[in-house]
Amino acid sequence: MNHFEMPFEQIVEMYTPMVKKQLTRLKIYQNHDEFIQVGLIGLWEAYTKFDPTKGEFSTFAFSSVRGRMLSHLSKESRFQKFHVNQSDELLEVVAGNTDLLPFELETIAPYLNGLSDREKLWVNEAILHGKKRKEIAQEQNVSINTVKMWRLHALKKMKQNALILLNM
């Protein structure tokens, strides 16, 4: 049966495993539902644009789905980089003020939900006390790269907490 003779719902049923397999191949470990939706959009585009004289539908569908997902992954990456830079600037402003009052400490507390002890340590040392990565690494007997990872994870979790707080 030619794919054009099938309703799209049947195509979705047939190709959903292929869409999901792309999550593994592209090493997408979060936002699965979002990327499945993006893959299904790619599948819809393949379904509407397919020309049987130019090859097999499965090949065209695969490249359309994968291309759509790669494009979305690229956009997500650019978005993340931009927002990490914005957060860094904000944190530098906060870190510059080492005379934080208890009210200010209370203000940042909701953003610390879900942070590990090491990530909280980074927030305390870097943001509240204005210490550099090298100082923290020396005091904790860890590498600078380890402190960078604490920072990266802490910022990511704090951003997620900020989004949650904004949506309340």
Residue 89: pLDDT above 70?
Answer: no
Residue 43: pLDDT above 70?
Answer: yes
Question: Are 61 and 111 in a shared domain?
Answer: no
Question: Are 72 and 115 in a shared domain?
Answer: no
Asked if the structure places residue 21 within a domain, the reply is yes
Asked if the structure places residue 87 within a domain, the reply is no
- CATH number for position 126: 1.10.10.10
Q: Tell me the average pLDDT of the chain.
A: 80
DSSP-based three-state secondary structure for 32: helix
Alpha carbons 65 and 44: distance in angstroms, whole number: 9
pLDDT at 19: 92
What are the distances in angstroms from CA 95 to CA 123, 129, 156? Answer: 9, 7, 17
In terms of pLDDT, which residue wins out, 6 or 168? 6
In terms of pLDDT, which residue wins out, 21 or 125? 21
Asked if the structure places residue 84 within a domain, the reply is no
Asked if the structure places residue 85 within a domain, the reply is no
Asked if the structure places residue 90 within a domain, the reply is no
The confidence band for 15, taking pLDDT boundaries of 50, 70 and 90, is very high
pLDDT at 82: 56
pLDDT at 94: 47
Question: Are 41 and 72 in a shared domain?
Answer: yes
**Count of domains observed in the chain:** 2
The confidence band for 55, taking pLDDT boundaries of 50, 70 and 90, is confident
pLDDT at 11: 92
* CA dihedral (97, 102, 104, 108) positive or negative: positive
Question: Are 69 and 16 in a shared domain?
Answer: yes
Last residue of a domain, which of 76, 105, 120? 76
Question: Are 71 and 132 in a shared domain?
Answer: no
Nearest 5 degrees, angle CA 33-CA 38-CA 44? 125
Alpha carbons 154 and 160: distance in angstroms, whole number: 10
pLDDT digits (tens, 9 = 90+) for 144-156: 899 999 999 988 8
User: Among 32-41, 59-68, 85-94, whose mean pLDDT is lowest?
Assistant: 85-94
Asked if the structure places residue 92 within a domain, the reply is no
Full residue range of the structural domain in which residue 12 is found: 3-76
pLDDT at 2: 52
Question: Are 70 and 109 in a shared domain?
Answer: no
Question: Are 101 and 162 in a shared domain?
Answer: yes
Residue 165: pLDDT above 80?
Answer: no
Asked if the structure places residue 70 within a domain, the reply is yes
